[in-house]
């Protein structure tokens, strides 16, 4: 089936879009050998960094390098500014929603979202009820996954409000591009992204208990065997804060301290990169050795800030996703600036019937799934796969949602035989402290396999530098 995709670079086969003109000219003028040589250099440099990745995971099997593509993905500033408005609107509404469901529950009372959708949700944390957070912010760091459809319109594919990762690639990719192709940056104005760690630190400080003037912030990692450990170490170093493990922290008299050579030192904000369930063995999973006993009580006493807050998962999973546009209308009285992808909730009988009838055209996802696992891509599935999935779907409908197979936009990408279009998405990182801030850019993921629509790195995806150009 021949499908039409939005080409990010070309308006027509021989017509390059305005914001790609400088790049196209450079590609045309630069001898292919030089580009090839630079690509090899990039491979080599990343391999060196990659050795870092691999060694960190060496006890649990080598971690793969995420391939880097040297053709940037470009977004004109005017378009970016619209995205910023839409993202700010969306994350603001999501934070309002989280505050509401742990306080007055106005949105449930108004019947905008069914109460059972929220209150019986696995990620809903009763411990958060009535707890007042600084700036009423729950998800200080959000990664919102965006895609463009056939006509180039942006849609939100997924909200990530727990511990979104990937921002280290955004920064490393930019450093790599500036190192390899400085002339590209001289010929046009690419907005910088390198100040992200500074912005992040400011955001984290805003999550400190109110009385603390120069709050001490730490990054809590599950440890070197976590797949995102490289990013944890990278961000801690860039921000100049301690990278701690659970064993480095202790709770005494309701306050959190880290064990240092100079004795216990008070900790005011924990940028935690582990899931709720592992944070405090006294409150959540007893068997967790990664967490800090007593952390929840210190948090509830208002003596330490957590970023992100506990219990944000109720707002970002795929069963809540269809309600986000309603949240925006309910809390902000505005129309959503960036649309959702149309979504059928299989727990609704009508929706289920539609999904079962059109299974071969749809993408079906597990409500709690992530990383591209456990999903069905109808058009790419065999008859046997379709039937197997149909049985699973009928057995447990409320575990699934379905969406039309998206015609993700394409961006030119280096492949074995030169340059070819490959599908991309975009994850901008939205920081909510005293105000909402977004660094101009994000992580562009690219499906390197021809025709593939799955951009997840666990499924053979790569990354690109993302340019917002003035």
The reply to whether 262 sits near another protein by the rule CB under 8 A is: yes
Q: Single out the segment in contact with another protein by CB under 8 A; choices: 155-163, 198-206, 244-252, 447-455.
A: 244-252
The reply to whether 259 sits near another protein by the rule CB under 8 A is: yes
The reply to whether 252 sits near another protein by the rule CB under 8 A is: no
- Residue 426 contacts residue 411 (beta carbons within 8 Å): no
Rounded to whole angstroms, the Cα distance separating 378 from 373 reads: 14
Q: Exposed, middle or buried: residue 17 (CB in 10 Å: 0-12, 13-18, 19+)?
A: middle
Choose which of 55, 335, 353, 388 interacts with another protein (CB under 8 A): 55
Nearer to another protein, 60 or 260 (CB): 260
The reply to whether 244 sits near another protein by the rule CB under 8 A is: yes
User: To the nearest whole angstrom, how small is the minimum distance from the Cβ of residue 265 to another protein?
Assistant: 9
User: To the nearest whole angstrom, how small is the minimum distance from the Cβ of residue 68 to another protein?
Assistant: 21
User: To the nearest whole angstrom, how small is the minimum distance from the Cβ of residue 79 to another protein?
Assistant: 38
Nearer to another protein, 245 or 339 (CB): 245
Nearer to another protein, 224 or 302 (CB): 224
Backbone phi, then psi, for 169, in 5-degree steps? -65, -40
Count of alpha carbons within 13 Å of 426, Cβ hemisphere only?
28
Residue that has been written with the tokens 């530098």 in this structure: 465
| Closest to 461 in 3D by CA, of 226, 166, 151 | 166
Rounded to whole angstroms, the Cα distance separating 224 from 57 reads: 7
Rounded to whole angstroms, the Cα distance separating 220 from 160 reads: 19
Choose which of 156, 258, 426, 446 interacts with another protein (CB under 8 A): 258
Nearer to another protein, 258 or 304 (CB): 258
Rounded to whole angstroms, the Cα distance separating 432 from 143 reads: 11
Nearer to another protein, 52 or 135 (CB): 52
The reply to whether 263 sits near another protein by the rule CB under 8 A is: yes
Nearer to another protein, 260 or 458 (CB): 260
Partners of 419 in the beta sheet?
414
Reduced to 3 states, what is the DSSP secondary structure of residue 465?
Answer: strand
Q: Single out the segment in contact with another protein by CB under 8 A; choices: 154-162, 191-199, 241-249, 455-463.
A: 241-249
Reduced to 3 states, what is the DSSP secondary structure of residue 202?
Answer: helix
Count of alpha carbons within 13 Å of 389, Cβ hemisphere only?
26
User: To the nearest whole angstrom, how small is the minimum distance from the Cβ of residue 175 to another protein?
Assistant: 16
User: To the nearest whole angstrom, how small is the minimum distance from the Cβ of residue 201 to another protein?
Assistant: 17
Give the interface size with another protein as a residue count (CB under 8 A). Answer: 18
Rounded to whole angstroms, the Cα distance separating 110 from 105 reads: 9
User: Going by C-beta distance under 8 Å and a sequence separation of 6 or more, which residues neighbour residue 261?
Assistant: none
Nearer to another protein, 55 or 335 (CB): 55
Which string of DSSP letters, residue by residue, matches 45-63? Answer: HHHHHHHHHHHHTGGG-PP
The reply to whether 247 sits near another protein by the rule CB under 8 A is: yes
The reply to whether 349 sits near another protein by the rule CB under 8 A is: no
The reply to whether 251 sits near another protein by the rule CB under 8 A is: no
User: To the nearest whole angstrom, how small is the minimum distance from the Cβ of residue 234 to another protein?
Assistant: 9
User: To the nearest whole angstrom, how small is the minimum distance from the Cβ of residue 215 to another protein?
Assistant: 18
Choose which of 43, 242, 326, 339 interacts with another protein (CB under 8 A): 242
Nearer to another protein, 56 or 284 (CB): 56
The reply to whether 243 sits near another protein by the rule CB under 8 A is: yes
Tally of CB atoms within 10 A around 121: 18
| Closest to 299 in 3D by CA, of 131, 176, 82, 469 | 131
> x-or-dash pattern for another protein, window 70-109, by CB under 8 A?
----------------------------------------
Under rule CB under 8 A, which residues in 200-239 are in contact with another protein?
Answer: 224, 233, 236-237
> 229-239 and 167-180 are packed helices; what angle lies between their axes, rounded to 10 degrees?
70
Which string of DSSP letters, residue by residue, matches 4-38? Answer: ---BSSEEETTEE-GGGHHHHHHHHHS-HHHHHHH
End-to-end Cα distance, the chain = 38
User: To the nearest whole angstrom, how small is the minimum distance from the Cβ of residue 261 to another protein?
Assistant: 4
Write out the residues near another protein by the rule CB under 8 A.
Answer: 52, 55, 224, 233, 236-237, 242-245, 247-248, 258-263
């Amino acid at each position: 089936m021949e499908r039409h995709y939005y080409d990010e670079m070309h308006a027509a086969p021989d017509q390059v879009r305005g914001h790609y003109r400088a790049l196209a000219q450079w590609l045309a003028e630069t001898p292919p050998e030089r580009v090839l040589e630079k690509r090899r250099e990039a491979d080599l440099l990343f391999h060196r960094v990659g050795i870092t990745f691999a060694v960190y995971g060496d006890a649990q099997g080598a971690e793969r390098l995420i391939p880097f593509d040297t053709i940037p993905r470009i977004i004109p500033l005017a378009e970016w500014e619209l995205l910023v408005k839409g993202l700010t609107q969306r994350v603001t509404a999501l934070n309002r929603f989280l505050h509401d469901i742990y306080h007055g529950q106005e949105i449930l009372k108004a019947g905008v979202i069914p109460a059972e959708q929220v209150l019986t949700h696995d990620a809903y944390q009763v411990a958060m009820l009535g707890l007042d957070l600084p700036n009423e912010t729950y998800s200080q760091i959000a990664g919102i996954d965006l895609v463009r459809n056939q006509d180039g319109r942006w849609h939100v594919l997924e909200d990530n409000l727990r511990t979104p990762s990937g921002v280290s690639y955004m920064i490393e990719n930019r450093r790599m591009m500036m190192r390899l192709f400085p002339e590209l940056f001289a010929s046009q104005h690419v907005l910088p992204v390198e100040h992200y760690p500074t912005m992040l630190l400011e955001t984290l400080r805003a999550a400190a208990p109110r009385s603390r003037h120069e709050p001490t912030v730490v990054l809590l990692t599950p440890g070197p065997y976590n797949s995102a450990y490289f990013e944890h170490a990278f961000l801690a170093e860039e921000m100049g804060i301690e990278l701690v493990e659970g064993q480095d922290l202790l709770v005494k008299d309701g306050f959190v301290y880290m064990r240092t050579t100079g004795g216990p030192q008070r900790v005011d904000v924990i940028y935690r990169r582990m899931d709720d369930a592992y944070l405090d063995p006294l409150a959540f999973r007893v068997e967790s050795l990664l967490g800090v006993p007593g952390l929840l009580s210190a948090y509830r006493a208002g003596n330490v800030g957590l970023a992100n807050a506990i219990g944000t998962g109720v707002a970002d999973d795929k069963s809540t996703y269809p309600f986000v546009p309603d949240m925006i209308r309910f809390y902000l009285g505005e129309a959503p600036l960036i649309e959702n992808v149309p979504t059928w909730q299989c727990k609704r009988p009508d929706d289920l019937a539609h999904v079962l009838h059109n299974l071969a055209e749809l993408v079906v996802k597990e409500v709690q799934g992530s990383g591209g696992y456990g999903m069905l891509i109808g058009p790419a599935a065999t008859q046997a796969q379709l039937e197997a999935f149909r049985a699973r779907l009928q057995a447990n409908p409320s575990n699934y949602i379905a969406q039309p197979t998206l015609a993700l936009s394409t961006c030119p990408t280096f492949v074995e035989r030169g340059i070819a279009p490959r599908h991309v998405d975009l994850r901008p990182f939205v920081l909510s402290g005293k105000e909402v801030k977004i660094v101009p850019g994000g992580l562009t993921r690219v499906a390197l396999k021809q025709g593939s629509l799955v951009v997840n790195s666990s499924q053979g995806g790569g990354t690109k530098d993302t340019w917002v150009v003035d």
